[in-house]
Amino acid sequence: MIAIVFLLLLLGGAIIAAANGGQAVPVVEIAALIGAFLVFFGTGVYVAAVLGLLGMLVGLVFSDRPWWAFAGQTLWSPSSNFVLVAVPLFLLMGEILLRAGLSDRLYKALNVWLNRLPGGLLHTNIVSCAVFSAISGSSVATAATMGSVALPYFTDTKYSQRMVLGSLAAGGALGNLIPPGITFIIYGLITETSVGQLYIAAILPSLLVTGLFIAVIMVHGLTHKMEKPPALPFSVKLRALGGLVPTLLLMILVLGSIYGGYATPTEAAALGVVGSAVFAAIEGKLSFKLLHASAEATARNTALLGLIIFGAYLLNYLLTVINVPQALAGFIGGLPLPGWAVMLCILGLYIALGTFMEGFSMIITTVPVVFPIVTALGYDPIWFGVVVTMLVEIAQISPPDGTVMYVLQGMRPKAGPITDVFAGVMPFLGVYMLAVLLLMLFPGIATWLPKIMG
């Protein structure tokens, strides 16, 4: 319902823009474009194709300028942006770590320390995903990597399969929120906001969300008691920490270089790729076959993301030419509502859109329209970047279209209905929304660290 309201506001904004330009108000044409938008997404057409085609239709219907003369320059801007180079580099780092077996060592090491807590291995799912997120930058990569490692541990166990899948989906959703999340790079590129400050601002919200996920599992473990595994000697636990060393060193290399001011996110991503290759060589796994498979998977994912960005940039450029974002910002800003009420409407919009839109396409298509409204209301751009990223993560685990959930469904050792994943993720989805509300009430959770660190 909120998504429909947003589309109606977009319709009103376009009509206002057309009226301000002294043209006849093309209500039928605008309604046709909105209908095309809904039909394209509803029939499963690729997001990149939808965005590009809608951009061309907007240009032909509303703009007197020959938009094709500017298309090359518009698409060149994101394709040549230095910050965006970090995206394939972070993806490549995660692919190398997966194929080198370092993620398996991480999971085993954490399991030794966490398996006796109420909830047992489910805690290992969350914490291992959180740690791996600090070097992967991607929710899908985190879910796919840790899912492939964790799911075999739950074969023929008494653990609830719904909670197993739900905890892995929720843990995977941390991939973009915990620095160096790729979503922050996209948001920083669109809004010209410091990616380094976004990373710093995300630290406390990341700890908050991870803590809430652990609390959900703790409650589940206390209400569904299971036999604890035998206690291990402390010396065994200490030796198990060796499995964390590669991941922790990569975290220090990537995040330490960013926070210390020694490298940009892009340069830190390149350092991470080199570091992951070094650890793969130490493990004796580095080979041309491993590098080829990692590069191939990275190129495929980067190409898909790049096409979405290109289509969105073309659509955003043409909407700006006909004054839609400016008119919409003025329209919403002039509503007789307090700023917090408008902000709640925006949050509801993202939650609604997340039920049928992919996270990256959602942020690319909406932030250029919403960002001027948010800043006009006096909200901090850094704070809003963290909130938007959290909402994108919620979209990744929101039925019926959450990407992370379908990744895990496809990896299940034993076939089962997708409703298992939907049901299992619901408690985590609820506390994630609670975390967003806490950031609304206490924005200092996201803004305090950037202010302290300058």
Question: Above pLDDT 90, what percent of the chain?
Answer: 14
Please, what's the b/e burial string for 278-294 (b: 16 or more CB within 10 A of its CB; e: otherwise)?
bbbeeeeebeeebbeeb
pLDDT at residue 22, as a whole number: 41
Using one digit for the tens of pLDDT, what is the confidence trace for 127-167? 988 888 887 777 777 887 788 788 887 876 778 888 888 99
Q: How many residues are listed for the chain in this entry?
A: 454
| Of the candidates 431, 345, 376, the residue with the CA atom closest to the CA atom of residue 167 | 431
Check pLDDT > 60 for residue 8.
Answer: no
Instruction: Judge whether 146 and 408 are in contact, CB under 8 Å.
Output: no
pLDDT at residue 113, as a whole number: 81
Instruction: Judge whether 240 and 171 are in contact, CB under 8 Å.
Output: no
47 CB burial (10 A radius; 0-12, 13-18, 19+): buried
Q: What angle do CA 171, 176, 182 make, to 5 degrees?
A: 150
Cα Rg of the chain, angstroms: 23
Where does 322-378 have alpha helices with state H? Answer: 324-333, 339-353, 359-376
| Of the candidates 289, 251, 291, the residue with the CA atom closest to the CA atom of residue 271 | 251
Check pLDDT > 70 for residue 285.
Answer: yes
Q: How far is CA 207 from CA 128, 160, 221, in A?
A: 14, 25, 21
First-to-last C-alpha distance (Å) of the chain:
41
Using one digit for the tens of pLDDT, what is the confidence trace for 355-383? 656 666 677 777 887 888 888 888 999 99
Q: Given the structure tokens 């085993």, which residue do they identify?
A: 108
What pTM does this model have? 0.74
Q: Cα(163)–Cα(2) distance, rounded to whole angstroms?
A: 30
Using one digit for the tens of pLDDT, what is the confidence trace for 260-281? 778 877 888 889 899 989 988 9
Check pLDDT > 70 for residue 108.
Answer: yes
Instruction: Judge whether 385 and 447 are in contact, CB under 8 Å.
Output: no
pLDDT at residue 437, as a whole number: 92
Cis peptide bond upstream of 152, omega within 30:
no
Using one digit for the tens of pLDDT, what is the confidence trace for 401-431? 677 777 777 777 777 787 888 888 999 999 9
The stretch 298-314 carries a mean pLDDT of 74
Which amino acid is it at 392? Answer: V
Instruction: Judge whether 439 and 447 are in contact, CB under 8 Å.
Output: no
- Contacts of 107 by beta carbon, 8 Å cutoff, 6+ apart: 124, 128, 146, 149, 150, 153
The stretch 181-205 carries a mean pLDDT of 87
Q: Given the structure tokens 């997120």, which residue do they identify?
A: 133
Instruction: Judge whether 426 and 419 are in contact, CB under 8 Å.
Output: no
